[in-house]
Amino acid sequence: MLGALIGDIVGSVFERAPHKSKEFDFISERSRFTDDSVLTVATADALLHGYGYMPVFKYWGRSYPNAGYGQKFYRWCLSDSDETGESYGNGSAMRVSPIGWAFDSLDEVLEEAKRSAAPSHNHPEGLKGAGAVAAAVFLARGGKSKDEIRDYIAGEFGYDLNRPLEAIRPEYTFDSSCQGSVPEAIIAFLESEDFEDALCNAVSLGGDSDTQACIAGAIAEAFYGPVSKRWVTMLNILLPQEALRVVDAFNKKYLDSCYNFFCCGQESAEGRPSENGMPYELLNLNPGSCRWWVKELGMQDEVWAFVTESEIPREASVYFSTDTPVIFDQLCFKSLEDAFIALNRNGFDLYFENYAEGSGPGYYTSAPRGRFRIEPHPLFSSGKHWI
């Protein structure tokens, strides 16, 4: 499951910017989670708590409305009707990987994969895509060889998995259908040498990169074993708290996970309060050089955190404020990464520009989830590009 989430984030940068090479930065300032992660977490949530797939998909989809859903799916998500969707898009395949971990037989996995696809993707190709990915994850975690996985998926689902990536890549374009993207994502795994290479293969196709890296990453994790803690740390930074709680519970229940998503950051020094009780002014903070976090406190004021590099190279300073441009506290950490993790595990979420719709370079500031009803902090103007 972690492989799917990491693949989604790695591929997110290239979803609408086709990249035909395996050479690229895995993580950049534009990296974010998308609908693939939201709905993968939703599937895990349903398995953990026995929720129906339709209500749980609609709950998570509505909670993160700007994660990049297809138009038909989001219309279905917003509808209060119990009518099923007939999509053959790859949404059924991108979210299904937790099912490959949660059952002990292939028959159970295939049946549950159909159940998970049916609410929104009740089309033969939609059902097939979900079944193929869930089966590949199950077979991979069970120790089957790549040849065995290839032969089973090709024979059961009719996918042509004997095409080399070198032959696919030159003419391949964005395709969000199951039949036009799932086989290629599986091939990206089959031709890989390790987990990272599977993601590189998927992105290098130049297609629906976040979804194909999500699928390839899910199978690769099951095949190659636990992913590097380096990438797990990335999830601590970029996923919201409620998603991390589901991921943590799922991995502990089904994968006997040793990851601890809430105890990774260590402060390098004790917090330094404002000098003599006098507040700092925020005027010297450059919005292009710091990250902006917010913690909702119910009926109380929101608490904002601004994270920037401190005067000591490679260390990080976190400045805290309410809804005024005045700092009331400061903490120091060994790195920006440690600061991000500490904030995340203590209930802060990125006030992330990623969640706004739009195209072009950069992102626009917007709230990270639907339940926030807050205005931009007075330090920064609304709608400003974030670099």
Give the per-residue pLDDT at 230.
Answer: 75
* Average pLDDT for 246-268: 64
What b-and-e string marks burial along 232-247, b requiring 16 or more CB atoms within 10 Å of the CB? bbbbbbbbbbbbbebb
* Average pLDDT for 240-267: 70
Q: For residue 317, what is the enclosing H or E element?
A: strand 316-321
Give the per-residue pLDDT at 282.
Answer: 40
pLDDT band at 8 (very low <50, low <70, confident <90, very high): very high
Give the per-residue pLDDT at 336.
Answer: 74
Tell me which residue of 138, 140, 136 sits closest to 155, measured CA to CA: 136
Mean pLDDT for all residues in the chain: 80
Give the per-residue pLDDT at 242.
Answer: 85
> What is the C-alpha to C-alpha distance for residues 23 and 17, in angstroms, rounded to an integer?
14
> What is the C-alpha to C-alpha distance for residues 39 and 243, in angstroms, rounded to an integer?
10
Give the per-residue pLDDT at 171.
Answer: 94
* Residue 255 DSSP one-character state: S
Give the per-residue pLDDT at 161.
Answer: 97
pLDDT band at 16 (very low <50, low <70, confident <90, very high): confident
* Average pLDDT for 190-218: 97
> What is the C-alpha to C-alpha distance for residues 387 and 384, in angstroms, rounded to an integer?
10
pLDDT in tens, 86-132: 999 999 999 999 999 999 999 999 999 999 999 999 999 999 999 99
pLDDT in tens, 36-87: 999 999 999 999 999 999 999 999 999 888 888 988 898 999 999 999 999 9
